[in-house]
Each structure stands twice: as structure tokens, then as C-alpha cells.
Amino acid sequence: MGGLQSHDDRLDQALTDVAGLVRLIEALAREGTTVMDLARAGAPPEPWRLYPGEAGIFDRRTRYQFYYHAHDDRPLEDGHFHTVRLFHDRTVHLVGISMAQDGWPQALFTVNHWVAGDVPESAAQVKAYARRFRIDESRGPAPLVRFVNLVFRVFAAEIERLQDEKIAALAAHRLRHPGRDPFEDRSLEIASWIDVDVRRRLASTLALR
């Protein structure tokens, strides 16, 4: 019975998280805004500019950070959030959250090490950092911080799978191009990618009850 109860508890938590994420995005939409607007804090969209500022949103206690920006060559997204774990001597990029124009996350991805200037870590270690991701809502606009925290909880399995796929992609790139350092090769920017749909995740989670 304990195992069944534990499964039920996990399902209840998963439902709470994904329903909370849907409610958050829908509530912002009713107000005529998005998490991207919250990140920009009223500033006009500008390619490559970091929002809400160069330091992003940073929690000094947990050492996690995120920031938002957009490229000028990606018409299929509004922009994306980068999430990182900061150490005194290095940075570890965890996952990117690609945002659609309507304010819903549409994909998760990892980047090659040259993109964020981070250092290689094992997939297992990055997964551990991702599982502990947490930024206090007092560090920025509460709905914005809550959004990023919830994405990590709702799509935890996908975020972990992306780490394995990143390692595999870098290894495959090394084999294809033996004379290049795969970590610094500018031809490899996105290491792994998965499309996500929050509303579909809510429906599939409800179907498990």
C-alpha cells in the first residue's frame, strides 16, 4: 500500500504543478501580458539584450539564475530563458526554455559549452543540479520566478533526458569531426531539443487519475 500511496502522492504533485503552470500563464494572458513582458519589465524587445538585466534573476542562497533574451534570426520564437547554476569558479548551463509569441513555452533545449561559457559536467551531475533548481519568488516578479520554477518541476524528466542527449550529440560530433574541439565548435550551438506542450501535459496527467 505504501508504494501505491507514494505513486498517488507523486501523481497529485505532478497535477498540482502542471495545473499551476497552466493557471499562471492563463492568468497573465487575461491581464494582457506574458512572462516575457514581466522579464522585460516594460523595456522594448531588443535582440541579444539580457532581461531583466545583465545579472538576470539570481538567488544568492541557492546560486541559481535565469535570464531572458531573443535572437534576431529565430522567427519561430519570441525568445528564450537560459537557466544556470553559478559557482564561484564556474557556470553550468542547465536548460533553455523557448517561448512562443503567445506566452507559452514551446520547447526545451541544451546548448554547447561555448554558448554560455560554461564548463563540461557529467550528465548525472547536471541532472542533480536541475532537480534542485529553485529561485525564491522574492528575487523578481513572483509570477515570472514561479513560472521558471514550475517548468523545472513539470518537465523534470524531459530536462534530464536532454542532458543525456547533449552528451551523445557532443560525442557524435567529435567522431564526425576528429580535428575539432566539439565544445568550441561554433557549428554546433543547440546540443539537444524537445518540443513541449503544457496544456497537453495537463490533459495527459489528468488522464492518469
**Model confidence over 43-82: pLDDT tens digits?**
888 999 999 999 999 999 999 999 999 998 777 899 999 9
- Taking each helix axis from N to C end, the angle separating 142-154 and 2-30, rounded to the nearest 10 degrees, works out to 140
Task: Output the CA–CA distances (angstroms, integers) from residue 141 to 4, 108, 145, 196, in the order listed.
Answer: 38, 22, 6, 24
51-55, 65-69, 93-97, 197-201: least confident range:
51-55
pLDDT digits (tens, 9 = 90+) for 111-136: 999 999 998 999 999 999 999 999 99
The whole-number average pLDDT for the span 92-97 is: 98
- Predicted pLDDT of residue 175: 95
- Predicted pLDDT of residue 180: 92
Q: pLDDT at residue 151 above 70?
A: yes
Q: In 3D, which of 131, 135, 159 has the Cα closest to residue 57?
A: 135
How far, in Å, CA of 96 to CA of 128, rounded? 17
Q: pLDDT at residue 5 above 70?
A: no
Those residues whose C-beta lies under 8 Å from the C-beta of residue 201, and which sit 6 or more positions away, are 18, 154, 155
- Predicted pLDDT of residue 7: 85
- Predicted pLDDT of residue 2: 47
Q: pLDDT at residue 182 above 90?
A: yes
- Predicted pLDDT of residue 70: 95
How far, in Å, CA of 24 to CA of 33, rounded? 11
Mean of pLDDT over the chain: 95
Q: In 3D, which of 2, 209, 198 has the Cα closest to residue 104?
A: 198
Q: In this structure, what C-alpha cell is assigned to residue 143?
A: 509570477
- Predicted pLDDT of residue 4: 47
Higher pLDDT among residues 5 and 31, named by residue: 31
